[in-house]
Amino acid sequence: MIVNDGGIIPGANNGDQSMRFASDLERQLQGYGLTTAHILYRIPDFESVLQTYVWQDYDLAPDFPEMHKFLDFWRTSLDGPLHSVRYTHRRLVGANDWRRVEGEFRLH
């Protein structure tokens, strides 16, 4: 179950929308924001015990293709079944946050 502030979002993966970027700044200018997921999962040998894992990457809201790709990998490749996922997302930089400034500071 994927939960954000009490609401549930669909777990459907809308295909591979990942793109290659030259830098994190370029990703942010393309609309990516920092997504942090707090994942609770059950330890395979002790199903009554919950373990925590924190995942963080740049992702696109509201579909979160990178997070869904990671969770799909978890479900298919790892033994610990997921219990819950809480996440937060924040756009750090947008294209409107940049402006051209000309000037020079001389030191010494």
Q: How confident is the model at residue 97 (pLDDT cuts 50, 70, 90)?
A: low
Taking alpha carbons only, the member of 38, 36, 50 closest to residue 80 is 50
pLDDT of residue 86 exceeding 80: yes
Domain contains 108: no
Provide the number of structural domains found in the chain: 1
Tell me if 41 sits within 8 A of 79, measured CB to CB.
no
Tell me if 8 sits within 8 A of 2, measured CB to CB.
yes
Calculate the average pLDDT of the chain. 79
Domain contains 84: yes
Domain contains 102: no
Q: How confident is the model at residue 105 (pLDDT cuts 50, 70, 90)?
A: confident
- Tell me the residue type at 5: D
Domain contains 107: no
pLDDT of residue 17 exceeding 50: no
Q: Is the peptide bond before 62 cis (omega within 30 degrees of 0)?
A: yes
Percent of the chain with pLDDT over 90: 50
Domain contains 50: yes
- pLDDT digits over 36-74, tens only? 999 999 999 998 999 999 999 999 999 999 999 999 999
Containing structural domain, residue 59: 2-9+23-93
Distance linking the first and last C-alpha atoms of the chain: 59
Percent of the chain with pLDDT over 70: 70
Domain contains 18: no
Whole-structure pTM value: 0.67
Domain contains 31: yes
Domain contains 28: yes
CA dihedral 100, 102, 107, 108 (to 10 degrees): 160
